Amino acid sequence: MTMQNDLLLRVLSGEKTERPPVWVMRQAGRILPEYRAVRSRLSGFKELVETPELACEVTLQPVDLLGVDAAILFSDILVVPEAMGLPYELIEKVGPRFPETIGSAADLARLHPVEPEEHLRYVMDAMRMTRQALDGRVPLIGFAGAPWTIFCYMVEGGGSKEWSRARRMLRSEPVLAEELLDRITEATIAYLNAQVKAGAQVLQLFDSWAGALDSTLFERYSLPRLRRICEAVDGAPLIVFAKGAGWQLERLAALPCAALGIDWHTPIAEARRRAPGHVLQGNLDPSVLYGSEAEVREATQRMLSDFGRGGHVANLGHGVYPDIDPDRVRAFIDEVKRSGVEG
């Protein structure tokens, strides 16, 4: 089956293309009324994640409704710790919560390795179903959380501003911390490789809380696991998005991955200077989409021109906010697409 739109694959393989491909982090989700219609029939977010037909349906929505150049499977990074033996709940308007957390070697002993086709069968089924339903229209992206980010949730038990409990474990129990990080790493490798087998054509690794680490901790605890994953995952180009870690870009640029995600805090010129020659993905501040259509188009143009020609996957610099008007997202996407026509 040939891809009708393989822009993203071509850019990630280093090819020069007529324009940057564009997709939007959290494109499948609450900004779309069509998503909310599906969601409102269900008992909760997890039912959506765990029902392949529904996950497939909402994954396709932004391809049809927004015109993005890639689909990203609707799922959650926290399915991995759950598959390891630590179940989570999603509490409306609060966020994820793990009734049990990891604080000792005894807690660690209760975790087990992940067999994706067994413990995460619903993701694999959703991936297969979506790949088939896409029928080559656009590439399908799979994803996982990076080990440090998953570690944060497993130790804290929920969201946090500072992740000081997770960092406390790095400082006070480094051996336990390394062991937990290694287990998450192996589970993640198995999971990502299984996603590729099930149909993922691109992968993204979200180190959403990389910004909670200083250079020393990042280099010791996060970076080696990102490297291990880059080296052990096969068959699809990998995008590493370490949010809040702009200061670490030189180190990230040494990873054997296809592209680096850039958050909206990081000035584009700094990113280009620190990761020269790399494919970069990002990085419009999602709050730009609260402005007028003209402002969205103008900011998008500025972003495109700052990244320059080639080596760029257009995206936001963070997930789109739920109360953003889908028309503004369309204006962003349209402006990227027009850049090819005019350029």
Q: Which residues, 6 or more positions from 167, have their beta carbon under 8 angstroms from its beta carbon?
A: 212, 213, 217
Q: Which is nearer to its own copies, 85 or 291 (CB)?
A: 291
243 lines the binding site for its own copies (CB under 8 A) = no
170 lines the binding site for its own copies (CB under 8 A) = yes
Q: Which is nearer to its own copies, 202 or 303 (CB)?
A: 303
CA 66 to centroid of chain Cα atoms: 19
Closest CB 182 distance from its own copies, rounded Å: 21
User: Do residues 219 and 159 lie in contact, with contact meaning Cβ atoms separated by under 8 Å?
Assistant: no
Q: Is residue 26 flagged as an active site residue?
A: yes
Q: Which is nearer to its own copies, 171 or 309 (CB)?
A: 171
Q: With helix as H, strand as E and coil as C, how does the chain read?
A: CCCCCCHHHHHHCCCCCCCCCECCCCCCCCCCHHHHHHHHCCCCHHHHHHCHHHHHHHHHHHHHHCCCCCEECCCCCCHHHHHHCCCCEEECCCEEECCCCCCCHHHHHCCCCCCHHHHCHHHHHHHHHHHHHHCCCCCEEEEEECHHHHHHHHHHCECCCCCHHHHHHHHHCHHHHHHHHHHHHHHHHHHHHHHHHHCCCEEEEEECCHHHCCHHHHHHHHHHHHHHHHHHCCCCCEEEEECCCHHHHHHHCCCCCCEEECCCCCCHHHHHHHCCCCEEEEEECHHHHHCCHHHHHHHHHHHHHHHCCCCEEEEECCCCCCCCCHHHHHHHHHHHHHHHHHC
219 lines the binding site for its own copies (CB under 8 A) = no
Q: Is residue 88 flagged as an active site residue?
A: no
Binding part of the chain for its own copies, among 135-143, 149-157, 162-170, 178-186 by CB under 8 A, reads: 162-170
Q: Which is nearer to its own copies, 251 or 312 (CB)?
A: 251
Q: Is residue 76 flagged as an active site residue?
A: yes
217 lines the binding site for its own copies (CB under 8 A) = yes
Map residues 286-325 to x or -, x wherever contact with its own copies holds by CB under 8 A.
xxx-xx---x----------------------x--x-x--
| Binder of its own copies out of 39, 220, 265, 337 (CB under 8 A) | 265
| Binder of its own copies out of 15, 270, 305, 309 (CB under 8 A) | 270
Describe the crossing of helices 223-232 and 174-198 by its angle, rounded to 10 degrees: 30
Q: Is residue 137 flagged as an active site residue?
A: no
Q: Which of 19, 26, 131, 272 is catalytic?
A: 26
**Number of Cβ atoms within 10 Å of the Cβ of 321:** 14
Q: Which is nearer to its own copies, 95 or 235 (CB)?
A: 95
247 lines the binding site for its own copies (CB under 8 A) = yes
Q: Is residue 302 flagged as an active site residue?
A: no
Map residues 116-155 to x or -, x wherever contact with its own copies holds by CB under 8 A.
----------------------------------------
Find the binding residues for its own copies in span 40-59 (CB under 8 A). Answer: none
267 lines the binding site for its own copies (CB under 8 A) = yes
Q: Which residues, 6 or more positions from 82, have their beta carbon under 8 angstroms from its beta carbon?
A: 88
220 lines the binding site for its own copies (CB under 8 A) = no
| Binder of its own copies out of 161, 175, 256, 341 (CB under 8 A) | 161
29 lines the binding site for its own copies (CB under 8 A) = no
Q: Which two tokens stand for residue 211?
A: 């910004």
Q: Tokens 């009734």 map to which residue?
A: 99
266 lines the binding site for its own copies (CB under 8 A) = yes
234 lines the binding site for its own copies (CB under 8 A) = no
Catalytic residues: 26, 30, 39, 76, 153
Contacts with its own copies by CB under 8 A lie at: 159, 161-162, 164, 167-168, 170-172, 211, 214-215, 217, 244, 246-247, 264-267, 270, 285-288, 290-291, 295, 318, 321, 323
